[in-house]
Amino acid sequence: MIARRGERGYATVAAVAAITVFAMVSLTLVADNRTAVGDAAAEIGRARVNAAADAGLTMAVDGLLVEDRAMRWSIDGRIHEADFAGTHIRIKIEDERGKVPLNLLDEDSAKALVEAAGRSGLDAQIAADSLLDWTDDDDEPHLNGAESEFYAPRGTHPRNGPPRSIDELVVIRGWDRAMIERIRPFVTIWFGRGGFDARFAQPKAIGVMLGGGDGNPLAIQRQREAQGQRTAIELGDDLVLTGRPLTVVVEASDASGARAVQRTVIELTGARAQPYVVRGFD
């Protein structure tokens, strides 16, 4: 049977419509596939840089275990670079005893730390006293500090002990995120046993712990050393690394733009079977 003109026109429109719908579905599938491929590539990139960061931690431990003192990796934050499976790795080892211990501050060091974080005047007094109140074991506020009475309406309470993270400081009276980011490179919650060791310390930590701020002569010397060669004191002293908390910072990146940064706090054990233990992640 021959279709009438109107029927033929309707059939043509329906066919074109069907082809259009089919094309749109096809394009959607292609776009979805491209998205899936892109997601898979991104996931592979993330896995690659994470694996490289893990490898960087192993490299750092191997460098610390070298018997020849002249070849042993430094613990003063000096950068070591390497390539691994198509990624570029930057590794540094930081001595936690060369940082400001947040749980061992007195009034002078608390004030110096707050000033290093960018506060002055009454704002500095409030932040310093509140930090001391947060970490001490009583409920008696310092002159410009804050204890339970201040925090209760805000749904929290003082730690009355060592902070569990550096980011915890953001809830303390007088502190904010910008202050935390300024001090993050040279403060620690992983100080361990022993006293502050200026030999491999962060320059700003020296200024806080020993006084004088950035103008402390030893802080200036350490800043210069960080830009130059390893110090004679590091090569000459009988430095025992076993049991000393160290942070290994590894940054891995590849050509696709994938990037991973790992900060691992370790202690060397002195045991060949298990040369180090992980204390935490910073």
Lookup: tokens for 153: 């309406």
Give yes or no: residues 92 and 204 share one domain: yes
Band the pLDDT of 10: cuts 50, 70, 90. very low
Structural domain harbouring 75? 38-99+191-282
Boundary of a domain, candidates 155, 183, 211: 183
Dihedral sign of CA atoms 137, 140, 144, 147 in order: positive
Give yes or no: residues 168 and 205 share one domain: no
Q: What confidence score (pLDDT) does residue 2 get?
A: 41
Q: What confidence score (pLDDT) does residue 14 get?
A: 46
Q: What is the pLDDT of residues 164-202, one digit of tens each?
A: 999 999 999 999 999 999 999 999 999 988 889 999 999
Q: Confirm whether 243 is domain-assigned.
A: yes
Q: What confidence score (pLDDT) does residue 226 get?
A: 73
Give yes or no: residues 85 and 159 share one domain: no
- Output 62 or 27, whichever has higher pLDDT: 62
Within 13 Å, how many C-alpha atoms sit on residue 110's CB side? 26
Global pTM value: 0.81
Burial class of 133 by CB neighbour count within 10 A (0 to 12, 13 to 18, 19+): buried
Please state whether 257 falls in left (phi above 0), alpha (psi between -120 and 50) or beta.
left
Mean pLDDT of 80-91: 95
Residue 96 near residue 86 (C-beta atoms within 8 A): no
- Output 84 or 192, whichever has higher pLDDT: 84
Give yes or no: residues 196 and 140 share one domain: no
Q: Confirm whether 9 is domain-assigned.
A: no
Give yes or no: residues 150 and 195 share one domain: no
The domain total for the chain is 2
Band the pLDDT of 34: cuts 50, 70, 90. low
CA-based nearest residue to 186, from 162, 169, 202, 209: 202
Boundary of a domain, candidates 133, 159, 183: 183
What is the DSSP code (8-state) at residue 265?
E
H runs (alpha helix) in 65-141? 107-116, 121-135
Band the pLDDT of 239: cuts 50, 70, 90. confident
Which pairs with CB-CB distance under 8 Å and at least 24 residues apart come from 219-222? 222/76, 222/198
Q: What is the pLDDT of residues 122-162, one digit of tens each?
A: 999 999 999 999 999 999 999 999 999 999 999 999 999 99
Residue 159 near residue 139 (C-beta atoms within 8 A): no
Boundary of a domain, candidates 164, 183, 202: 183
